Amino acid sequence: MKKNTEIRIAGFGGQGIILSGYIIGKAAAIFDNKFSTLIQSFGPEARGSSCSAQLLISDNQILYPYLVQPEISIILSKDAYDKFGGELKSGGIMLVEKDLVNPENAPKGVKVYAVPSTRLAEEMGRKIVMNIITVGFFSATTGVTSYEATRKAVESSVPPGTEEMNLMAFDTGYNYGKELMEGEKPKTKKAVNKAI
């Protein structure tokens, strides 16, 4: 029986944290035929305040929907890193926003992969899609959700009329992650692997 995959997504309000969690959970549950749960937390100020999402993904029904100790963290702000950076299991994966988070004190044994999602979104002319770039990066670097399932979840979750732009953002993040992972293959024997 496969255990749950525990995922934390954290940053600040306005970065699309909750939508990212929703899309990843939907990709798993609707399009990859798995089970998933999502719990969200955000400050009363909303935009600019701390925000996080807890996701569990499993091949089996999930009986307890809360994180015990995540294997994967997606960290999109310095404050989120300060708060959640040390909670990962040894051997876990931390994905960070390259220009906003400096994971120099990442827990020992954690693999850290960075993506400049805000910069890539700005280059597309739409800073708002940085979360979709991050979702693509997540799919490519972790393999928890498949490319096809995650892309379908993006397409069916974004506002009508924005599908093309969001799919382009997803592919941008996915391709960035795929190229990074292909470059990482020779280095996988290292206990700590920081690709920054």
Kindly report the CATH number assigned to the domain that includes residue 37. 3.40.920.10
Using the predicted structure, report yes or no on whether residue 195 has a pLDDT greater than 70.
no
**Dist. CA 65–CA 57, nearest whole Å:** 10
Q: Is residue 153 part of a domain?
A: yes
Q: Is residue 125 part of a domain?
A: yes
Q: Is residue 134 part of a domain?
A: yes
* pLDDT value at residue 184: 60
* pLDDT value at residue 107: 80
- Pair type for strands 5-12 and 50-58: antiparallel
58 three-class SS: strand
Q: Is residue 190 part of a domain?
A: no
Instruction: Please provide the average confidence, as pLDDT, over all residues in the chain.
Output: 88
Q: Is residue 72 part of a domain?
A: yes
| 56-82: pLDDT as tens digits | 999 999 998 889 999 999 999 999 999
CB neighbours of 31 closer than 8 A, spacing ≥ 6? 145, 146, 148, 149, 150, 152, 153
| 137-186: pLDDT as tens digits | 999 999 999 999 999 999 999 999 999 999 999 999 999 999 999 986 43
Q: Is residue 108 part of a domain?
A: yes
Q: Is residue 189 part of a domain?
A: no
Amino acid at 146: S
pTM of the predicted structure, to 2 decimals: 0.88
DSSP letters for 86-144: T-SPTT-EEEEETTT---TTPPTT-EEEEE-HHHHHHHHT-GGGHHHHHHHHHHHHH-S
Using the predicted structure, report yes or no on whether residue 9 has a pLDDT greater than 90.
yes
Using the predicted structure, report yes or no on whether residue 126 has a pLDDT greater than 50.
yes
> What's the burial of 31, exposed, middle or buried (CB within 10 Å: 0-12/13-18/19+)?
middle
CB neighbours of 142 closer than 8 A, spacing ≥ 6? 72, 93, 95
Q: How many domains does the chain have?
A: 1
Q: Is residue 171 part of a domain?
A: yes
Domain assignment of residue 94, given as a range: 5-183
Tell me the Cα Rg of the chain: 15
